[in-house]
Amino acid sequence: MVESAYEKAGVNITAGEELVADLKQKLGAPDPHVLGGLGSFAGCYQLSKDQLDQPVLVAGSDGVGTKVLLAAQSGQVETIGQDLVAMCVNDLLAQGALPLFFLDYLALSHLEKNQVQKILNGILKACQAQSITLLGGETAEMPGIYQKHHFDLAGFAVGLTAKRNLLQAKNVHNGDYLIGLPSSGLHSNGYSLVRKILFEDHDFQFDDQLAGLNGSLIEELMQPTRLYVNVIRPLLKQKLVSGIAHITGGGLLDNVPRMLQDQQQAEFKLDSWEKPTIFKILAELGKLSQTDCYETFNMGIGMVLAVSPDNYARVVAELEQQKETFFKIGKVKKREKDAPVVYLSGGSR
């Protein structure tokens, strides 16, 4: 087959078309709300008249930061797609919305079919596992922009809720309990600091076995971000939570204040949950302060739920029914003048 001028410039249109065709075969049963199919100029999603009273569409966009560098360098790209989906749809949950559909953007120097297939399959599997429609996406070959084997990812998610069910700071009250849902590890934040500590300041290798970790160092670092949609869905449908904070970049210190009113404080008991070993390793090797840790990493908590005392027993029952691990990690209080919005008390780091 004669190579086209565009292929000679480094862009493989045929390979891109083959990847779309492969993805179409794996989509499974079509979502009845979707008009048209994958590969159109844009995705169309029809809302039903009776879907909600005063419906509100909630949209978000995110990426996975410099975790993509470790994925590219190690070749472990199978789960980076889940990272992307989770970073976007977990944010929708924090507004009280359940995700409807997702779109992805993958940019790279040259299309390596095996690598891209693994990434896209990861995105699709993550969407399917949480009943989210993969509505479309873009794979862009840009020779000269990215180094060989390197890539970047961005995701876009849209969810739906009724206006009255939006989670707003005014819904969170003093006395509400704070429930933490565990993370699977670092998720997708803090990787610039992680790479500096482990691979610049120290000379660790991907296949190193560190005490306390289940598997090699790179396996720990590439643990995919947890998807909380299936866990949170029944809580939202039953209106059992007052607020939700997705613990991403900025950690507990920067994300929890986003769900609170101005004169409120979140007090966390640090001895109420066990910190995963990877955070202890990073804190020790990097000589990190408590503020550094809780302002950079999730420290083992991926989601924080604010729950009124009246709803607490029902939330516990629902989480136990789902066999979901959770921790009662704190409480919402009135914030005194000049007091921090997030107060860390008790226990060690």
Q: What is the DSSP string of 74-136?
A: H---TTHHHHHHHHHHHHHHTTT-EEEEEEEEEEESS--HHHHHHHHHHHHHHHHHTT-EEEE
If pLDDT is split at 50, 70 and 90, which confidence band does 8 have?
very low
- Please state, in angstroms and rounded to a whole number, the distance separating the CA atoms of residues 32 and 30: 6
CA distance readout (Å), 57 to 99, 169, 229: 9, 19, 16
pLDDT at 31 over 90: no
Block residue for tokens 């709300």: 33
pLDDT in tens, 174-197: 999 999 999 999 999 999 999 999
Mapping DSSP to helix (H, G, I), strand (E, B) and coil, where does residue 158 land? Answer: strand
Indicate if the alpha-carbon torsion angle 187, 221, 121, 109 is positive or negative. positive
pLDDT of residue 42: 75
The Cα angle at residue 46 between residues 132 and 21, in degrees rounded to 5: 55
pLDDT at 209 over 60: yes
pLDDT at 11 over 60: no
Q: What percent of the chain has pLDDT over 70?
A: 88
Whether 153 and 82 have beta carbons less than 8 Å apart is answered as no
pLDDT of residue 277: 97
The contacts of residue 309 (CB under 8 Å, 6+ apart) are 175, 176, 177
Q: What is the DSSP string of 250-292?
A: THHHHHGGGGS-TTEEEEEEGGGSPPPHHHHHHHHHHT--HHH
Q: How far is CA 62 from the centre of its chain?
A: 9
pLDDT of residue 280: 97
Could you tell me the two tokens for 130?
């949480």
pLDDT of residue 60: 95
Backbone angles phi, psi at 78, to 5 degrees: -60, -30
If pLDDT is split at 50, 70 and 90, which confidence band does 33 have?
confident
Q: Which residues of 124-147 are buried (b: 16+ CB within 10 A; e: fewer)?
A: bbbbeebebbbbbbebebeeeebe
pLDDT of residue 1: 52
More confident residue, 31 or 258: 258
User: What does the DSSP 8-state code read for residue 48?
Assistant: P
pLDDT of residue 4: 56
Q: pTM value? A: 0.89
Instruction: Kindly state the average pLDDT of the residues 77-95.
Output: 98
pLDDT of residue 16: 58
If pLDDT is split at 50, 70 and 90, which confidence band does 43 have?
confident
- Please state, in angstroms and rounded to a whole number, the distance separating the CA atoms of residues 280 and 289: 11
- Please state, in angstroms and rounded to a whole number, the distance separating the CA atoms of residues 44 and 100: 12
Whether 136 and 93 have beta carbons less than 8 Å apart is answered as no
The mean pLDDT of the chain is 91
pLDDT in tens, 254-291: 999 999 999 999 999 999 999 999 999 999 999 999 99
pLDDT of residue 25: 64
pLDDT of residue 18: 65
Nearest partner of 105 among 91, 123, 90, judged by Cα: 123
Could you tell me the two tokens for 94?
């924090």
Instruction: Kindly state the average pLDDT of the residues 92-114.
Output: 95
Domains defined along the chain, listed by start: 5-165 (3.30.1330.10), 169-345 (3.90.650.10)
- The radius of gyration of the chain's CA atoms, rounded to the nearest angstrom, is 21
The contacts of residue 112 (CB under 8 Å, 6+ apart) are 149
Block residue for tokens 């029809």: 46
First to last CA, the chain: 61
pLDDT at 314 over 70: yes
pLDDT of residue 125: 96
Whether 272 and 344 have beta carbons less than 8 Å apart is answered as no
Partnered with residue 133 across adjacent β-strands are: 101
Instruction: Kindly state the average pLDDT of the residues 220-244.
Output: 98
If pLDDT is split at 50, 70 and 90, which confidence band does 6 have?
very low
